[in-house]
Amino acid sequence: MKQEVQLMKGNEAIAHAAIRYGVDGYFGYPITPQSEVLETLEALMPWETTGMVVLQAESEVASINMVYGGASTGKAVMTSSSSPGISLMQEGLSYIAAGELPALIVNVMRGGPGLGTIQPSQSDYFQATKGGGHGDYHYIVLAPSTVQEMADFVALGFDLAFKYRTPAMLLADGIVGQMMEKVVLPEQRPRRTDEQIARECPWAVTGRPEGRGPNVLTTLELDSARMEVNNHRYQATYRKIEENEVRYQEYFTDDAEYLFVAFGSIARICLKAIEDARQRGIKVGLLRPITLWPFPTKEIARLAQQVKGIMVVELNAGQMIEDVRLAVEGRVPVHHYGRMGGIVPNPQEVMDSLFANFPDADK
Amino acid sequence: MKKEIIIAGFGGQGVLSMGKILASAGLYDGLEVTWMPSYGPEQRGGTANVTVVLSDTPISSPVLDSYDTAVILNQQSLDKFEQKVKPGGVLIYDPYGIHHAPTRTDISIYPVEAMEATIALKNAKIYNMILLGALLKLNPVVDIDAVMTGLKKALPERHHHLLPANREAIMRGMELV
């Protein structure tokens, strides 16, 4: 079957991909720069075709708790928001992680802190990868850099979320949310039937059928010894995810003497800088983490044995650089270039930052 | 082939739409395309711009520091982007409302009286299409039929009677250069 290539925004691609994945419910509240997710879903009216529920909740707190409830029944449910809205969801996210429930959360980041700006940012890296809410937990964080990945990571996020019974976050920024480029949407899949859910999610709270006791999902455990057992179980899942689900992409690293590490759309700006630098014979490469948690620690450690220096470029004051430094363990210097508040650097500025920190690179 | 284009003017002049039509046409011509808008509060006034890249190879960055071609519709945008046109590049601008004309000598500069032509055609809504015509004349990155296909796909059927006016505006822009 011939696949149709379409031109659309990253946010629109998420909405289309959600319907085509067979998502059961979307609960959200509008906020720039991701409002097109909800707007597109409302325009496409999937409740009339696949039966998907699309609901504009009264707040982000309500949205995430609707996700919590929907996920408890084994349904594929999601929400999307931008930075300040995601902050409001942190309590619910901690509960969903503790309840070991699959769900997809989309954060199209804007500049903060506070209400901040509506322009692109990556300043929620810490919040996304280190837990964000209370308690010891992680969830899978996928960082798309193209509109195609915005579409593809909806399915990937849900598949991983159900595989490990954990929330997954699609952590994008205003650039990849608002830009348009070519995308090939996945095939339409049917929503899962109740029988499938009963088979694939035996933990789901779906009423008590004959032959088993009631399923109970709770995050409260007053017996500390049992709560520690729960924590050990969460941690065991996280170790398994770290072992199996690290994703990244390397560009021009074979002979690289200097390395950029960047995620999301900023990786593309670095790549453009690298293309220009390569024409001048400067051997510089790029590692783009696709999963921010789990982080490609081993791969960066390997490249640290090869390169003379590493430049981390982010739309923040220096967040992912901490994970890069932990991976590098002091083998080579690691420097940071970051813009904040919604300012996006251009390829020239990115290259200049490499030369400013590593003058030998400009030879 | 790779063309890096900036279109900049006031919000409401059709800057983003013009970019979108160009990007759609690129898509129908089988090119790789990116369309990156400034998405601030521009629709409430102020300047708006969009970066469109058309290429026959994969496109790395949708955000650029210099451009092959700039289409400039107001003074603020001219001040901001004249210096960002690559040497040997093309700058198209509408002299309407411009009080400091561009001065560079290492690029090709084309004033296009699009506002006057719009007034003559008595249809304010085709302003951006006149400029698109000028752009396509100087930079035949996509073919006019691909533009019309893109427009036809983008417009709901109830607006299809406007297609001939758009085609006419593109042709007028081509003549103006």
Strands B2-10 and B67-72: parallel
- Nearest Cα to A104, choosing from A81, A136, A137? A81
pLDDT, tens digit, for every residue of A36-55? 999 999 999 999 999 999 99
Choose among B33, B34, B64: nearest Cβ to A347: B64
Token couple for A51:
């039966």
Q: Where does chain B show beta strands of DSSP type E?
A: 2-10, 32-37, 47-55, 67-72, 85-93, 108-111
Q: Would you place residue B150 in the very low, low, confident or very high pLDDT band (cuts 50, 70, 90)? A: confident
CATH classification at residue B16: 3.40.920.10
In chain A, residues with a C-beta closer than 8 Å to the C-beta of B35 are 7, 179-181
DSSP state letter for B102: -
pLDDT at A9: 97
Q: Is the pLDDT of residue B174 over 80?
A: yes
Q: What is the pLDDT of residue B39?
A: 76
Strand A180-184 to A5-9 pairing: antiparallel
The partner residue sitting opposite B60, judged by closest CB among A7, A178, A268, is: A268
B39 shares contact with chain A (CB less than 8 Å): yes
- For residue A311, what is the enclosing H or E element? strand A309-314
Q: Which residue of B has its CA nearest to A348?
A: B65
Residue labelled with tokens 């198209």? B92
> Beta strand A140-142 with A167-173: parallel, antiparallel or unpaired?
parallel
Q: Which residues of A332-360 are buried (b: 16+ CB within 10 A; e: fewer)?
A: bebbbbbbbebebbbbebbbebbbebbee
Q: What is the mean pLDDT of chain A?
A: 96
What interface predicted TM-score (ipTM) does this complex get? Answer: 0.93
pLDDT digits (tens, 9 = 90+) for A65-115: 999 999 999 999 999 999 999 999 999 999 999 999 999 999 999 999 999
CB contact (8 A) between residue B65 and residue A178:
no
Distance between CA atoms of residues A85 and A145, nearest Å: 22
Give the closest residue to B19 by CA, choosing from B76, B81, B62.
B62
What are the tokens at A349? 């500025």
Amino acid code (one letter) for A123: S
Among A136, A352, A198, A178, smallest CA distance to A264 is for A178
pLDDT of residue B41: 67
Domains and CATH numbers, chain A: 5-194 (3.40.50.970), 250-361 (3.40.50.920)
Q: Tell which A residues from 291 to 350 touch B, by Cβ distance under 8 Å.
A: 344, 346-349
Calpha distance A79→A22 (Å, rounded): 15
* CB–CB contact B37 A179 (8 Å): yes
Q: How many helices (H) and strands (E) does chain A have?
A: 14, 14
Mutation to test the A interface, candidates B65, B66, B142, most A Cβ within 10 Å: B65
The number of distinct structural domains making up chain B is 1
Measured in angstroms, the CA of B17 and the nearest CA of chain A are apart by 12
Contacts of A5 in chain B (CB under 8 A): 27
Residue B164: give the domain boundaries: 2-176
Give the contacts of B7 (CB within 8 A, at least 6 positions apart).
Answer: B15, B18, B19, B22, B49, B50, B52, B70, B71, B73, B131
* Residue numbers of A between 26 and 45 with CB closer than 8 Å to B: 32-33
Pairing of strands B32-37, A180-184: antiparallel
Q: What is the pLDDT of residues A101-120, one digit of tens each?
A: 999 999 999 999 999 999 99
- Report CB contact under 8 Å: A347, B34: no
Say if residue A321's pLDDT is above 90: yes
Residue B7 CA to residue A241 CA, distance in Å, equals 45
Helices B127-138 and B114-121, interaxial angle, to 10°? Answer: 130
Contacts of A276 in chain B (CB under 8 A): none
Q: Can you list the positions of beta strands (E) in B43-154?
A: 47-55, 67-72, 85-93, 108-111
Task: Give B47→chain A minimum CA distance, Å.
Answer: 15
CA–CA gap between residue A46 and residue A25 (Å, rounded): 10
